[in-house]
Amino acid sequence: MTTPYNLTRNDSWLERSIMTTRGVARGKIGATHELTEKRQGKYHYTIGPYSDPVMTVKPGDRVVFWTQDCFEGRIRTEADKPSDILEMPYINPQCGPVMIEGAEKGDAVAVYIETMLPRGDNPRGTCCLIQEFGALTGTTYTATLNEPLPEIVKKINLDEEKVYWSDRVTLPYKPHVGTISCSPEIDSINALTPDQHGGNMDMPDICPGNITYLPVKLPGARFFIGDCHACQGEGEVCGVAVEYPSITTVRFDLIKGWDIAWPRLEAEDFIMAIGSARPLEDATRIAYRELVYWMERDYGFDRWDAYMMLSQCGKAKLGNFVDPKYTVGAAVDKRYLA
């Protein structure tokens, strides 16, 4: 399962990653499991501790997930009206939960995304405008008296190299996972809302070649994944990316005793802490605070020196600012951590 997008990556850095150096599997690859639509059965619209697990895997195992698009395939043509078809909050169907053997509260699950492929004989993505949803319109949470957005559906051809937006514009195929989580400890949270468990962060850096670290709150972690995007800009400004069904392959590991409060991400050349909140500045504050803590605890920085240094070289990356909570990642280049 390789694509031109994946072949351009240099994954030798994984040998030095947190996942490999601190994980239970220590880089050893285990069994490969496949979670097809048939095996999944019912997809989930909430992320929590009350659904039945679909499989159990060991650290080092791969899982090949057959994800649905965020509409579970219900928007079929450009003539469809989202308001006639969609029922909020039944958006972002999730695969899972997958249990990680040995995961306990206070650990972190490492999720390395290996590949993301379009699913189907003639794969197409979907983008649309939904009434009272998006960054540039009144919504339930930002109430105004403006007229609802026009309902426009766009079907987009795509393959493993390109997203054919229009006759005028061709975009690169740059897939990422919109919604990825372990279960909260007691709450069941809808799949549209990001929080400390992860959720609908819509962070473009959660993509093939990078590792996402998620806090574990329950035995087995209870991992969920869905809402894959063929491409998306930072912010997902209209509220909808190029949504598509995918075959997404991930490899799991487990970092014992790494008690992180919010999701984290590691790439070849940077680390990132991710926060979600409203307003947007509070999401940014969470992300930068968690990055300061990370630099202090794991890289030996003085807290206040790290704080001042990030003012000079930190990078704020925007996930979504359209959902019930907004998401920001605070990142720093690894060259400054040595």
Residue range 303-322, pLDDT digits in tens: 999 999 999 999 999 999 99
Please identify which residue in the block is written with the tokens 């008296």: 145
Q: What is the pLDDT of residue 7?
A: 40
pLDDT at 45 over 60: yes
More confident residue, 260 or 5: 260
pLDDT at 338 over 50: yes
Average pLDDT, the chain: 95
- For residue 291, name the pLDDT band (cuts at 50, 70, 90): very high
What is the average pLDDT across 165-183? Answer: 98
pLDDT at 166 over 50: yes
Burial of 311 (0-12, 13-18, 19+ CB in 10 A): exposed
Quote the distance between the C-alpha of residue 117 and its chain's center: 16
Quote the distance between the C-alpha of residue 215 and its chain's center: 14
CA angle 267, 270, 274 (to 5 degrees): 85
In 3-state terms the chain splits into helix, strand, coil percentages (rounded to 5) of 15, 35, 50
Q: Can you give the pTM of this predicted structure?
A: 0.95
Single out the residue of 147, 206, 143 nearest to residue 180, CA to CA: 206
| Amino acid identity for residue 247 in this structure | I
CB 333 within 8 A of CB 323: no
β-partners of residue 154 are 127
Q: What is the pLDDT of residue 9?
A: 58
